[in-house]
A and B are shown apart, each in its own frame.
Chain A
Amino acid sequence: MDITPHDRAPGDETTPEARRDETLAGLQAYLIGLGLSLILTATSFWAATTSALWAPGVAIGLVVLAIAQMGVHLVFFLHITTGPDNVNNVLALAFGVMIVGLVVIGSLWIMVHLNANMMPSATG
């Protein structure tokens, strides 16, 4: 992982001033993450309840907003960044995202086709 204030080992040789700066930088990151998450969440709830948007496009918009918010959480809360110590974490994340995509998209794809091939009396 990147050496952020969050990851600073206990007992590291840092001066009290440096330590205070790190805590302030960490606080700033959490505040940015909270602010962005609140904006994205509020947008999602607004998009789901308003009638001002084109209804068939809302579902895609909600997925995009959710993925954006997951990205915000990963960077500002979990500190999965592009730092040199973070390469292993990012690679594991990429593999996890691939498996999640295969499971979700693959299941929906196959089941929609199976459902379409069912006898009309057997559906619903």
Chain B
Amino acid sequence: MTTALTISHGGHGVPPGPSMDGPAPKRIVVSYGFWIFLLSDIVMFSAIFATYSVLVQATAGGPGGAQLFHLSTVAVETACLLLSTFTCGLMSLAVNIGHRAATYLGGAITFLLGAAFLTLEIREFAAMIAEGATPERSAFLSGFFTLVGCHGLHVTIGLIWLTVMMAQVATKGFTAFVHRRLLCFSLFWHALDIIWVALFSIVYLMGAR
């Protein structure tokens, strides 16, 4: 082991390191750090998913998923979020070529689709609560509102972040750190859609059966 290490470091005063290419560019380091944060967020969601899956049968005589979920609404929500993740990708292409008008257009469409998703989700929650299916009705509903609500909260934060980034593009222009923040935002927005894929598959499609 020691021999192998000595050989790999050259043994001629070359400092040890993972490669001879020098340090990675800052945007690669920043997106790596943000990726670690996103993974920790996904680990947090996995704990909430596990809680929900354990409690899904514990309806305490109240309504279950088959009575509460409307798959047509969920399909529209899914389409909104998938298209907004696509337009977010187009926005980051516009950012890379420094095209300001296309960046605003991509950001605006991403925002509107995200807001449409959130509106549908809030209306769904309001309709459920009006029917008496509140979070305190059963353990299943507590788990449902925690899981779906936590994702909705992330989407809300994403919409606020997107607004702030558009304001920064307007006031500061395409500086290096605005570029990096937009890169982190697009990673965040794409990760939210990955969580939604797990959510509509496990909660809605399996629950509505």
Q: Which residues on the A side are within 8 Å of B50 (C-beta)?
A: 103-104, 106-108
Residues facing A in B182-209 (CB within 8 A) are: 183, 187, 190-191, 193-194, 197-198, 200-202, 205-206, 208-209
When C-beta atoms are compared, the residue in chain B nearest to A108 turns out to be B53
Contact present for B75 and A103 (CB under 8 Å)? no
Whether the Cβ atoms of B190 and A85 lie closer than 8 Å is no
Q: Which of B26-64 contact A (CB under 8 A)?
A: 27-28, 31-32, 35-36, 39-40, 42-43, 46-47, 49-51, 53-54, 58
Quick one: which of A9, A44, A55, A62 contacts B25, CB cutoff 8 A? A9
Q: What 0/1 pattern do residues 42 to 79 of A give for CB contact below 8 A with B?
A: 00110111000001001100110110011001100110
Q: Does A23 contact B (CB under 8 A)?
A: yes
- A10 lies within 8 A of B98 (CB): yes
The SS class assigned to the B binding surface is: helix
Closest to B31 in A: A1
The answer to whether B82 touches A38 (Cβ under 8 A) is: yes
Select one of A55, A77, A107 contacting B85, CB under 8 A: A77
Please measure, in the bound complex, the distance between the C-alpha atom of A26 and the C-alpha atom of B90, giving whole angstroms.
8
Q: Decide if B32 touches A88 in the complex (CB within 8 Å).
A: yes
A113 CB, min distance to chain B CBs, angstroms: 12
Contacts of B191 in A (CB 8 A): 78
Interface pair B96/A59, CB less than 8 Å apart:
no
**Contact A30-B43, Cβ < 8 Å, known A19-B97, A62-B201, A107-B54:** no
CA of A107 to CA of B49, assembled, Å: 10
Chain A residues whose C-beta falls within 8 Å of the C-beta of B36 in the assembled complex: 92
Distance between Cα atoms of A22 and B92 in the complex (Å): 12
Alpha-carbon gap, A7 to B97, bound state (A): 11
* A96:B197 contact, CB within 8 angstroms: no
- In the complex, which residues of chain A have a beta carbon less than 8 angstroms from the beta carbon of B200? 44
- Specify which of B27, B51, B206 is in contact with A48 (CB 8 Å cutoff): B206
A-B pairs with the 4 shortest C-beta distances?
A107-B50, A96-B39, A48-B205, A66-B201
